[in-house]
Amino acid sequence: MGSKEKNGKDGSEWNGSWNEENPTVQNGTMQNKAKLVDSKAIVWDGNGLNSNSSVTENTSNEKSAIDKLKKFSAFRRTRSLNAPSPIYQFGPCGRIMKNTALVMTIQDPASQRLTWDKPPLTVLVIKKLHDFTVIQPFVDLVKWLIWEKQMVVFVESSILSDPQLRNNQSFFAIKEKLCTFKEGKEDLTDKIDFIICLGGDGTLLYASSLFQQSVPPVMAFHLGSLGFLTPFEFKNFQEQVTNVLEGHAALTLRSRLRCIIVRHNESVNSISEKHTKPCHLVLNEVVLDRGPSSFLSNIDLFIDGKYITTVQGDGLIVSTPTGSTAYAVAAGASMIHPSVPAIMVTPICPHSLSFRPIVVPAGVELKICVSADSRNSAWVSFDGRKRQELQLGDSLRVTTSIYPVPSICAEDQISDWFDSLAECLHWNVRKKQRQLDEFPDLLHTSNNDSIDCKDVID
């Protein structure tokens, strides 16, 4: 969505989407301007919006509008997951000033489907460590990828020394055919076409940490404890992997946060010029906390350079929509679908009754600084790893990365997420309320005010 296409016979540029149930403008506008009339049709007015146009009272205009709709009938698709674009005309003469330099296009998540420019040849297989139940599925998968699919399989070098694998006779036949790597020692960016994870959510977080730029498509099988991010069952892995390799799969683009630590004696400009400062890409969250100190954290929060507030409490969680169902939800935050472009800011045990979690646009830059008058330092961790100390005056810069994690869906973006909420978190699980007809003596009472309905029904 967002790319302009010459779809009409008159050469008009269409920058939007269609709704199957109600074929009206949903996301975008025509260059010669489109207007919604009575939510039934579209009236095109090359001179701008015509506030006197009416479809219901003018049959000729209605026929003309229907003819216009037929031109685009071949370009309808499923309903957009993005919100409808608002009308930017306010009354007879007010409107939003156009600023082409600040236009950002977002592809409709419903249209995000996997395709391959060429057949994938290399696959990275990541398995959960120290779990005996994953050994046989790992061996079966690797053997099938090598012998049946003729693919080059990469694994972490530490797997070869796993004592549980060394005792597996089936593994000896394929051990020499595996390619290995060491975390932090080798760059896998241009080597891997496809990633398969066997385990829990931690395997997907680990796969994300291996790629600081573009991430290959990730297919995650549920062989761990929770499995919120692992939608696939392993029992028919051959069929499921084949479908993905043939390009029959939907994608959820899980945004990541780009985090840079700036010490109090450094400047952002000097860091950008030297290009030596390491950055951390996180899929779930970055956490600042008080560490081993017994004092409250004093953390200043800035958004796009504007001071917002000072966090006085145990710390602060800055999470992606994917991470909203992890540490953030345990701290009282809302759960956000991973396709929503947003950043969530959640305090940890704030010493304030009114400090609630907030959601900010994905395009802002957050600066989180340890206050100069703080009684103690702070500690920061990235997806639970690489924990380090921040001294007074040190800051953390957080923005949304341009490199998301393309997570392959077992079904689609909506079904997978709500299935995970129900199965993993038991979201809104409650014993169903009984009907009143099970209490016939109460249905004929003359004074309903005397019945405590909630107590009787429940």
Compute the distance between CA of residue 44 and CA of residue 349 in angstroms, rounded to an integer.
Answer: 55
Alpha-carbon distance values, 37 to 25, 52, 53 (Å): 11, 10, 8
Q: Is there a contact between 357 and 350 (Cβ–Cβ < 8 Å)?
A: no
Backbone angles phi, psi at 398, to 5 degrees: -125, 125
Catalytic (active site) residue 416: no
Provide the strand spans (E) within 11-157: 13-14, 34-37, 41-44, 89-90, 94-95, 122-127, 152-156
Interhelix angle for 135-147 vs 237-245, to 10°? Answer: 50
Compute the distance between CA of residue 33 and CA of residue 50 in angstroms, rounded to an integer.
Answer: 10
Q: Which residues contact 328 (CB under 8 A, 6 or more apart)?
A: 285, 317, 319, 344, 346, 357
Cα 132 → chain centroid? 31
What DSSP state is assigned to residue 191? T
Given phi > 0 = left and psi -120 to 50 = alpha, else beta, which region is 445? Answer: beta
Burial 82-110 (b: 16+ CB within 10 A, else e): beeeeeeeeeeeeeeeeeeeeeeeeebbb
Structure-token pair, residue 157: 């070098």
Q: Is there a contact between 76 and 20 (Cβ–Cβ < 8 Å)?
A: yes
Structure-token pair, residue 217: 């498509």
Q: Which of 201, 383, 394, 416 is catalytic?
A: 201
Catalytic positions are: 201
